[in-house]
Amino acid sequence: MPLARSWSVALLGIDGRVVEVEADIGAGLPGMKLVGLPDPGLKEAKDRVRAAVRNSGQKWPEQHVTLGLSPANLPKLGSGYDLSIAAAVLAASGAVSGSKLLGTVLLGELALDGRIRPVPGVLPALLAARREGLKRAVVPIDSMFEAALVHDMEVLGAGRLRDLLAWMDDIESLPRPEPADEIPPPSVADLADVIGQPEARWALEVAAAGGHHLLLVGPPGVGKTMLARRLPGLLPELSREESLEVTAVHSIEGKLSRSSPLIRIPPFADPHHSISLAALIGGGADIAKPGMISRAHRGVLFLDEVCEFGGERLESLRTVLEDGEVRLARRKGVVCYPARFQLVLATNPCPCAPPREADCTCSPSVRRRYFGRLSGPLLDRIDLTVRLRPLTAMHAHAHEFDEPEPTARVRDRVLHARDRAAKRWAAHGWRTNAEVPGPVLRREYALPRETTALLDRSLNMGAVTARGVDRCLRVAWTLSDLAEADRPEADHVAAALGFRDRRAA
């Protein structure tokens, strides 16, 4: 009984599982049966593949064809299995040799005329295939720029089904991806563009140095959005591992740049306050797609006019801020997307938001109700809160101490502080102070009692929570790194506690 196998990849989030595609040609009426939990789009592959094979000059078997996709209990979604199905059926029928299918993963959707169309998620699929020991991949020609990012794997491209079949019979060879040109990272906005606001600039530097979350409060037009957009320029470039994580998320959405697919600069996501909950954290009917928070992984998520977002959307971020990932349960399974980002919030102090606070027409109860849209548990997870003041002069050099520093100068200090933190936490695998668990700071790296006396008093008075104490300690370590001190002093702890003063809002 003719039987052949090929391999493809099933994606659940950015996690992939290698799928074995078995084609069995046996006795019975001509027909085709597909088993292994295919979704409606995959069930239609029977007609797509049959037409593509016929229009590629091959004969479809006139017997009963059974296709099994294993593991059988794993949901299979999308049209990316078309190429592996066609190869397995033709190898089982004896039309082509199946020897090259061993250890080769095939990805691609087939058009009715035999063209191979690109599919989303090629990068995470090949990373999963490499992890499970497959050494070669055939992908659509239009996806080779993305597949080339996977090292230690032979990547080949095919434009039509007949090209793949000729390669399987050793008649023709398939092209390999050309070496990618080294493209400089895109330019970022310069911090020197921001006039004044020394306290907010300092808070932005501290946030960049330690990976801390930041809340900016101030009237319209004082530079809240400008500051937030300049935070990615202060952060270090992503490592190779981080770049692949971020690029894999964007690959699932099919939004990679053909000229520079590997994302090396920390991403910046700024959703509008009308965004839905599913679009923010991820969602979908069968298998949830990544949301805006996953698009900001290893970068910055900026929520402008945060008080307008609504409680449900804001509260959905609380667990994500602690775990660095989001788990979404849907009918076809549970997916986990990475979401370790720096959160930057910006808001006006009240609904009327005049340029000068003296002109505010809001009553105290209205102001409290407006800012009360940010819950206590959410604010407790914000490390730095800073109030921006109205500008009094537009000339950048009105005062000598007001001369704004450029991004490059501030970034040097940030990178130096991050390097100190990375060396200190290297044995534990943490890269920034914001990642360090509270118990470690309080036990293994405990500070003298006289240094933390102010924190103890604040905790006793109820001015700060236990979580707030841990976050103050993390900020204190960042301040000491920026000051090139061996460990935080009492002044660093006091400054960290001052950043958490709710009255700043």
Q: What is the largest CA-CA distance in the chain?
A: 90
Strands (E), 284-437: 289-290, 300-303, 325-330, 333-338, 342-347, 384-387
Task: Identify the pLDDT of residue 357.
Answer: 78
CA distance 93 to 127: 31
Q: What is the pTM of this model?
A: 0.91
CA distance 212 to 205: 10
Task: Identify the pLDDT of residue 402.
Answer: 58
CA distance 120 to 118: 7
* 316 DSSP 8-state letter: T
Task: Identify the pLDDT of residue 505.
Answer: 41
CA distance 499 to 341: 20
Q: Which residues contact 310 (CB under 8 A, 6 or more apart)?
A: 273, 373
pLDDT mean values, one per 10 residues, the chain (505 residues): 89 92 89 89 90 95 93 90 96 94 96 96 96 96 94 95 96 89 75 90 97 94 94 94 94 86 93 94 84 96 94 93 91 87 95 84 89 90 92 54 82 97 94 94 93 92 92 97 95 93 48
Residue at token pair 């668990």: 437
Q: How many CB atoms lie within 10 A of CB 29?
A: 7
Q: Residue 412 has which token pair?
A: 């040097």
CA distance 88 to 65: 11
Strand order across the 31-35 sheet: 31-35, 64-70, 15-26, 3-12, 104-106, 136-140, 154-158
User: Measuring CA to CA, which residue among 272, 53, 20 is closest to residue 161?
Assistant: 53
User: Measuring CA to CA, which residue among 261, 328, 341 is closest to residue 13?
Assistant: 328
